[in-house]
Amino acid sequence: MSDAQDRRTNIAAAATLPDAAPDHDAKPMPQHVSDVLYILAILVEYGRHLLDTIQRRAGRAGFSTIAQFFGTARIPVILAHLQRGIMRAVALERLLLERARTGRDLVLRSRRDATARAAKPHAPSPATASAAPPDTPSSQPAARRPAPQEPLTPDTIPSMRAIEAEVRSRPIGRTLVAISLDFGLAPLLCAAPFGTDLFNLFRWYGGSFGKYFMEIRRREKRFDQLELDHNPALGRPAQTRDEVRQILGFFAGEHPFDPFAPQPGPAPSPAPGMVPAAAATGPP
């Protein structure tokens, strides 16, 4: 089997991975691990929904509102990011469940921790130390990063093994940032409570909201310069949350709305001489 075929097999397996069966003999779920798993499940629901609908959305007005946060309107590139994001999420879920089985909770990085880290840049952060297992094998292959000028494509997505090695070598907050960027998830697309919780997890577990937001802005500018200037037919992205809701149908953190799902038709009219059921509920 070729490397490209192997990657596609891993992607398909990750995208359809069933939820883990409950382990009745397991220890109680540590609170902070449970909190991250909850937000991760919502994040993955958004990414999988977009993966399922992105090709059909590309043919409708308002596609640029979604595409701008990927920095491109090229569907293969967007699909590759969505697929890699799901693979990263699966790897992170496995890591968190491993911690839960041992009863080890995550440690939030406090403001004092952040100050100490700034004073001693070579000292490991408590969040970093708690986010990755202490016995991570160093022999696992690291995910190959495309060169800055090389867009991610289905043929350059790392294998699942490499993705798992990447996730285990990083603070959990950095992985959440990477997943959010792979899903093209900007603050404008998030429901307020979910967005606040997600961005707090970035900070608490070794990620950087500032770097995440700078990358979102870089993609917006790139999209404006390289896509809209050469293809005005894409249309300008939505500027308000009301416009975003009309285009996307929901915000991340809400139940996804599928505009392509069959909609129920009107109820059939009663036969002549028959009384509608709703009108026949009272006494004669």
Q: How many CB atoms lie within 10 A of CB 133?
A: 13
Mean pLDDT for the chain?
79
Confidence of residue 191 (pLDDT cuts 50, 70, 90): very high
Residue range 134-166, pLDDT digits in tens:
333 444 444 455 555 577 988 999 999 999 999
Mean pLDDT in residue range 126-139: 39
**Per-residue pLDDT, 244:** 94
- Indicate whether 68 pLDDT > 90: yes
Task: Please list, in sequence order, all residues whose beta carbon lies within 8 angstroms of the beta carbon of residue 63, skipping any fewer than 6 positions away.
Answer: 57, 73, 234, 235
**Per-residue pLDDT, 182:** 98
Would you tell me the crossing angle of helices 3-15 and 160-168 to the nearest 10 degrees? 60
Query: What six digits make up the tokens of 130?
Result: 């708690």
Confidence of residue 266 (pLDDT cuts 50, 70, 90): low
Query: What six digits make up the tokens of 72?
Result: 């491109």
Full-model pTM: 0.74
- Indicate whether 105 pLDDT > 60: yes
Using DSSP, how many helices (H) and how many strands (E) does the chain show? 11, 0
Task: Please list, in sequence order, all residues whose beta carbon lies within 8 angstroms of the beta carbon of residue 226, skipping any fewer than 6 positions away.
Answer: 72
CB 90 within 8 A of CB 84: no
- Range in 25-29, 92-96, 170-174, 244-248 the model is least confident about: 25-29
**Per-residue pLDDT, 271:** 54
- Indicate whether 74 pLDDT > 50: yes
